[in-house]
Every structure is written in C-alpha cells, then in structure tokens.
Structure 1
Amino acid sequence: EYERAAREVAMAATEVLIREAVKRRDQMIVQAVRVLDEVQKTINALYSRLVDWYGIHFPELKELVEDPEDYVRAVQAIGDRSRLRREELLKVLDRKLVDRVVEAAGRSLGVEVAEEDMERILELAGVIRFLMDYRDGIQRYVRQLMAVEAPNVTAIAGPTVGARLITLIGGLERLARAPASLIQVLGAEKALFRFLRTGRGAPKHGVIFQHPYVHGSPKWQRGKIARALATKIAIAAKIDYFSGEDRSAVLREELERRVKEIREKYPKPPARKEVVRQPARQPQRPAKKERRGRR
C-alpha cells in the first residue's frame, strides 16, 4: 500500500513538472531552430540540383547570378531563354545584371529542352522559393520568441546566436544553469573532445564565434572577448529564467566596456617565443674493450 501511494505521488509530481516545463516557450525555440536547420539543408540540396538541371539549358546564368535566392527568381523569370522577357527579369535583378544576362542568353552554349522538361525545372524552382519563404518566416518567428522568452540573452548574444545556444544545450533552464566555460565552447564539441584526447588545440569559442564582437576582432583578442561574452550570456540566461526582469541595457553596457578594455590592452599580437635549437649531438662510439689473455 505504501509503495503504491509513493508511486502515485511521484507520478503526480512528475506531471506537475512537465506542465511547468511546457508552459515555457523555450522548447518552441529549440524545435523551431531544428526545423530551420533541416529546411536549410533541404534548400541547399535542391538548389544544387536546380543549378545542375537548369544549367543544361542555360549554364552561363550561374556565373552571372551567384546569390541562391536571386538565381531561383531569375530561373522563374526567364524559363526558356529563347523566350526571355527583359521586363520580367528587371523585377528580380538590377539593370546592369539584366543586360549581361540577356547578352549571355543570346550566345549560350546550353541545349534546347522540351516544354515538359522546362515545366519540371520551374516546378523545382517554385518548391525552392516556397522553402526559402518558409525559412524566412521561421527566422522571424524565432526572433519574436527570443524577444519574449529571453530578452536579456537576445540583447547580449543576438536572437540568432542566442537561439542557437538554447537549442544546443536543450533549453533555457539548462543554459541558465550552465557555467560560462561551457557556453563559450558550445558548438565546438568535436574540437573539445579532440583536445581532451590529445591535449592540443583547446577550442576558444564555439557558436558564439558568429557574434560580431568575436569574429570581427583580431585573432589574438577573440579568446578573451569570447570569454567575456560567455560570462555575460550566462548572467543574462539566469536573469531570463529565474527572475524575468529586463536588465539588458546594463548587461550590454558592461559587455561593451569589457570589450573596449580588451581591445585597448591588447592592440598588438603577443610576441612569438623564439625556439632556440640546440646543436645536434654526435653519437658517442662505445670505447673498445681491451683484449686480455695470451696471444
């Protein structure tokens, strides 16, 4: 009877904890970022197929239009290059680029394709365009969630880096309980494990390298700035999870002051230590033993 009652109490307590965890929308951020990653992978794969497929008909277009989104729109606007309409292309590309595309279409080395084949190519371009629009919508959704659920982390790390950190660690609560040293290397697990195994090449930053304070700084400053940034992110996550008050302005000001101190203190790279090479020692030959005895 006691064991049954204890089990019921434990189950009830677990249900309460699950309901409290679901109330927070940080798990929505985690799932949205994971969906965003999968959608981007799909876009990359389908875009590569589109370039190969449409390149049979108009291979010069890829050399002129390098941006994937502009390329997809250009394919939809052009279709069959023999029926290219300049006014339609002007809706998606600038005038100078349109002139070059029109000229390239007139002397293209691509082959003519059947109307049915072109319809399938344009269908693929439409699917990619839909996925790109869907990706942009998910990105806006993540930014809105971050502004509501983690305003302090958003102010320090930015919505993209902040959402990526929450996803990598598994939620805002885990981020709030994580030390700054872990936050600093989140996303660099392979490099960290390699360092633990070999003792060489300790990672200085993980996904926070995407922050402009880190990747926009000289190499010899990045490790110190990444450490300062991770410290402020750890504090911001604790405030967001446990109190919810907005202290973003204070944290931002403190971070900017610390980054300024680092840049002023270390304006030049540290001097390299010269390695003095010792002259190679000649191997000593063992002394010959005297032969004793009668000759």
Structure 2
Amino acid sequence: MSLADELLADPDFITTRDEEADDIDNDGSEDVTMRDLEEVEDDEMADFEEEKQISSEIEMKNVMDVRKIAKLLGSRQMKDVLTKIGQLKNTNRIHVQIMGPVEEDPEYKLIVQANNLTVDIDSEILIVHKFIRDHYAKKFPELESLVLNPLDYARAVKAIGNEMDLTKVDLRSILPSATVMVVTVTGSTTNGLPLTIEESKIVSDACDMALELDCAKRTILEYVESRMTLIAPNLSAIVGSTTAAKMLGQAGGLMALCKMPACNVMLIGVQKKTSTGFSNATTPRHTGYLFQSELIQRTPPDLRLKAQKIVAAKCTLAARMDRVHESPDGSFGRSLREQIDKKLEKLQEPPPSKTVKPLPVPDEGPKKRRAGKKVRRMKEAHAVTELRKAQNRMAFGVAEDETGSFDTTKGLGLIGQNSGKIRAAVSDPRVKAKAPKRYQHMGSSGSTSGLSSSLTLTPVQGIELINPDESQKKVKDANDRYFGGGAFLKVGKPKQQ
C-alpha cells in the first residue's frame, strides 16, 4: 500500500480538515471581512494543492467516496465566496462610488478571488470526471471515448444510470443527434456489466458533484461579468466581461496589467500542457485567455494569431485608461473596438482583381520598319563567307587538315579538299572593307588602288613578285614596233617568180 493509500485509509487524516473547518465556522461570525477571507483563501489553496497532488497518485477505483479526493465544493473558501456573491449580487453600484486605485476597492478583491476560484473549479471537475470514468467503465467502457466533454459525460452517465437498453434512454437534450446514435449503437454491443446498487450510488453522487461545481462556476462568472463594467469598462468593451475578468485575475490586478507590454498580454492564461492526456498537436502556441475570447474565435483560423496581436495592443491602452478612471462609460473602449473591427475586416477582404486592359486600336497605315539600309549593309559585312562555310563543313571518312600555332589548333574543314590547293576567295564588294570618306582622297595616285598588292599566288612558282608596269611596257613596245611610224612597217615579202 502506498503512502497516499495509507493517508486516505486513516480516519483521522480524513476528518482533520473537516473539524478545522467546523471550528472556524463556529468561532467566526456570519459577516466575514475581506482580510479574513484572504487568510482563509491562502490556507485553503495550500490544502487544495496538497489534496490534488495526492489524488493524482491514487487509483480512482479504490476510492469509494468522491468527497475524499474532491473537497473544493465543501471547502470554506467556496462557501464564503458564494455567500459574499449572494449578498452583493443584487447591489447596484455606479461609477462615482469607485474612487482611488481599483485594487483598494473591497469588491475588487472578491472579484479576483472568485475569478481565481473558477480555475480551481475547472481542475476539480477534471478530477471528478476521472473518478466517474474509472467507476463507470465496468458498465459502459466505450462511453468515455465517445463523449469527451467532462460535463456532457457526467450528464450522460446520470441519464443512462444502470439501464442496459439505451433505446429507452432519451439523450437528445444532452448530446448531439449524431453522438446519440453512435452511443446507442455502441451501447447495444458493449461487454459491460450492470453496476451494483452501491456502485451506482457512488457514480450518481460524483455526477451530482460535477454538475454542482459547474453551477457554482456559472454563478461566479455571472457576478464577475456584472461588476467588470464598473472596474474595467473600456477593457470589457473590447474583449467582454468574462475574458477581462480572467485577464485581471491572472495578471494580478489592473495595475499589473497596465505595466505589461502587449506581447505579454497575449500570454496571460497560456497552458503549456493539456489536461486529461489529450493531444495538443492542434493547439496553437502562445495563446491564452485573449485567444479564447469571442472576438478572436469568430475570426478565420489563418488570421487569429494576427488578430490576437492587434487586440492585445488595444487591450493595453484600454487597461491604462481604466487605471486612471478615464472614460468610465466605456466610450474609449468602444472606439478601440471599432478600430479593431475595421482592421479585421480589412484583413479579410479579397485581394484586388487584376484589371484586364483592352487591346489597342489597330493602325491601318503601314508602320515604319526598324533598321534600314545601314543595318542591312552591316549584316552583309558580318555575313558568313564561302571560306568560312567550307571550314565548317566536313567530309565523312576523310581526315581534315589542321593549322595552328603554339598549343592551339584549328580544323580547316573542306578548305582545299576539292583541288588539293588553296585558292584565293573571290572578293565580294559587299563585304569589302571600306575606308571612311574623309580618308578616301588619301593614298596612292593614279588608277591603281592603294589597297592592291603586287603579290600573286601561282600553283607553280608559289609566291612571285610581279611588276605591274612591266606588262604595260611590253604592250607599248609591241604597238611602237607595228604602228610607231603611222603605217605598217612590216609588210609581207613579194612572191618570187
């Protein structure tokens, strides 16, 4: 037996806290002051944390009374808070009655205590839910996987009870229609066994406790919402009274909330781990009470994190206005809420559609052609010559000649393949290099071009130097010989007879 089991089995351990609570109730008066309430709250919270740690180590099947592991409902803290709320709930207060720092107002302390108590109630409901699951698994083990909400599960167990034929049980007021159909079909094929009278009573008491805790939580939230419009009217106008009360309670008061930057306001109420062992893969990071507010939840999922940043910045401004008691009617908060709504609507607008430009009016007249005579001549000058074309060609099965210098070589292709000798390419006047006009008057005189050469290539002699005036001299000598005297000098000889 573990230490927790021994402690729970000890009757002195069980009755000690009940006796202490009874002594305090007998000694104290009905009108408990706020200072006494704070001292009792500290003691009760320490005891509650200890009991919660012990209950997590206990196997619920071995505990036959839910009040041994869930003592918050019967604690003095819960009774005192609910009593004070009942006394102040019907009291109407106006803004003028709240003077000075909000933290010094007696009712503000009650609001913070009640708001913190709702978090403990949620944890207590989860403990009771585990107790009900462990004891009701004998009757209907599949129900806990079909109904995940703790309160819906408790209501369903309360309605089903020990009935084996689920068709006789009306669950439509508790669960959705689709879930009712699945629960009914699964209940007809379950392997569960009926509970005994004692076991059925234990489960019924646990269900009643879970529903009573939920009723107490709703009572506290209604009171907190009714008072938040007086303490923080501008903050409540943005995120609502429930979320504003949770933020104030978790932050430690309105003064502490005013000192927080907007990036930390988003993290108020963040939960690092999910309860009951469910997966947190779909839970976004860095989200708290502000993310769960109605303003953020109605935003599309892909814009919620961006909307959370916008709302957090406005909440910081509203909290600072509430701290200095400016705009007690909440007009400043409503103006901020309108700005938030406009920004969120702007984010949800579809992107502007692309304008379809019409085609231009066609011109009937001819268009000017780009380039012209100058460009055509430039293309002709850079055109591929016949010699280059021959170099780019290759005969199959025949090794081409190569020429090169130093360590580079270049193939000659079909140059010289047909005749076996290199022939000078025919000059093309279109691609012939031309001197600029300002230099055309310069150069050699006479009919001979200054660009002509006296070098000729012959197949026999190779490179031969030829004087171009020599051939003209031979022609002149021949003409002088025959026509120099104005008549024919040489005539045929007479025939000899």
Q: TM-score range by the shorter chain?
A: 0.5 to 0.7
1:60 maps to 2:142 = yes
Relative to structure 1, is the Cα distance of residues 39 and 231 closer, same or farther in structure 2, using a 3 angstrom cutoff? same
Please report how far the alpha carbon of residue 256 of structure 1 lies from its aligned counterpart in structure 2 after TM superposition: 2.0
Equivalent residue in structure 2 for 1:253, among 305, 313, 338: 338
Taking the aligned partners of 2:150 and 2:259, their CA distance within structure 1 comes to 40
Residue matched to 1:36 = 118
Taking the aligned partners of 2:350 and 2:286, their CA distance within structure 1 comes to 19
Residue matched to 2:133 = 51
Relative to structure 1, is the Cα distance of residues 142 and 64 closer, same or farther in structure 2, using a 3 angstrom cutoff? same
Does the 8 Å contact 1:56/1:111 carry over to 2?
A: yes
CA RMSD of aligned residues (A): 3.6
Q: Which runs of 5+ in 1 are unaligned?
A: 1-16, 191-202, 268-295
What's the TM-score, normalizing by structure 2? 0.41
Query: Which one has the bigger helix percentage?
Result: 1
Residue matched to 1:116 = 198
Compare relative contact order (CA 8 Å, sep 6+) and give the higher one, 1 or 2. Answer: 1
Aligned AA (1:66): L
Does the 8 Å contact 2:236/2:244 carry over to 1?
A: yes
Does the 8 Å contact 2:103/2:254 carry over to 1?
A: no
Relative to structure 1, is the Cα distance of residues 19 and 167 closer, same or farther in structure 2, using a 3 angstrom cutoff? closer
Matches within 5 A, 1:233-244: 233-242=315-324, 243=326, 244=328
Please report how far the alpha carbon of residue 229 of structure 1 lies from its aligned counterpart in structure 2 after TM superposition: 1.7
Residue matched to 2:54 = none
What's the TM-score, normalizing by structure 1? 0.66
Residue matched to 1:176 = 258
Does the 8 Å contact 2:102/2:254 carry over to 1?
A: no
Aligned AA (2:142): E
Relative to structure 1, is the Cα distance of residues 125 and 189 closer, same or farther in structure 2, using a 3 angstrom cutoff? closer
Please report how far the alpha carbon of residue 207 of structure 1 lies from its aligned counterpart in structure 2 after TM superposition: 4.0
Does the 8 Å contact 2:233/2:330 carry over to 1?
A: yes
Rg (Cα) greater in structure: 2
Does the 8 Å contact 2:263/2:312 carry over to 1?
A: yes
Matches within 5 A, 1:42-191: 42-82=124-164, 86=168, 89=171, 92-93=174-175, 98=180, 100-187=182-269
Please report how far the alpha carbon of residue 119 of structure 1 lies from its aligned counterpart in structure 2 after TM superposition: 1.0
Compare 252-261 and 118-127 and name the one that shifted more. Answer: 252-261
Please report how far the alpha carbon of residue 223 of structure 1 lies from its aligned counterpart in structure 2 after TM superposition: 5.8
Does the 8 Å contact 1:224/1:262 carry over to 2?
A: no
Residue matched to 1:209 = 291
Please report how far the alpha carbon of residue 110 of structure 1 lies from its aligned counterpart in structure 2 after TM superposition: 0.9
Please report how far the alpha carbon of residue 59 of structure 1 lies from its aligned counterpart in structure 2 after TM superposition: 1.5
Taking the aligned partners of 1:171 and 1:129, their CA distance within structure 2 comes to 30
Relative to structure 1, is the Cα distance of residues 87 and 225 closer, same or farther in structure 2, using a 3 angstrom cutoff? closer
Does the 8 Å contact 1:181/1:227 carry over to 2?
A: yes
- How many residues are matched? 238
1:127-167 Cα deviation digits (max 9, x unpaired): 11111221222222222222332121011122233222211
Please report how far the alpha carbon of residue 47 of structure 1 lies from its aligned counterpart in structure 2 after TM superposition: 0.3
Compare 89-98 and 70-79 and name the one that shifted more. Answer: 89-98
Residue matched to 1:25 = 107
Taking the aligned partners of 1:22 and 1:175, their CA distance within structure 2 comes to 15
Does the 8 Å contact 2:133/2:144 carry over to 1?
A: yes
Aligned AA (1:246): G
Relative to structure 1, is the Cα distance of residues 163 and 71 closer, same or farther in structure 2, using a 3 angstrom cutoff? same
Matches within 5 A, 1:256-271: 256-261=341-346
Residue matched to 2:23 = none
Does the 8 Å contact 1:175/1:237 carry over to 2?
A: yes
Aligned AA (1:80): N
Does the 8 Å contact 1:239/1:245 carry over to 2?
A: no
Residue matched to 1:292 = none
Does the 8 Å contact 2:228/2:245 carry over to 1?
A: yes
Taking the aligned partners of 2:246 and 2:295, their CA distance within structure 1 comes to 17
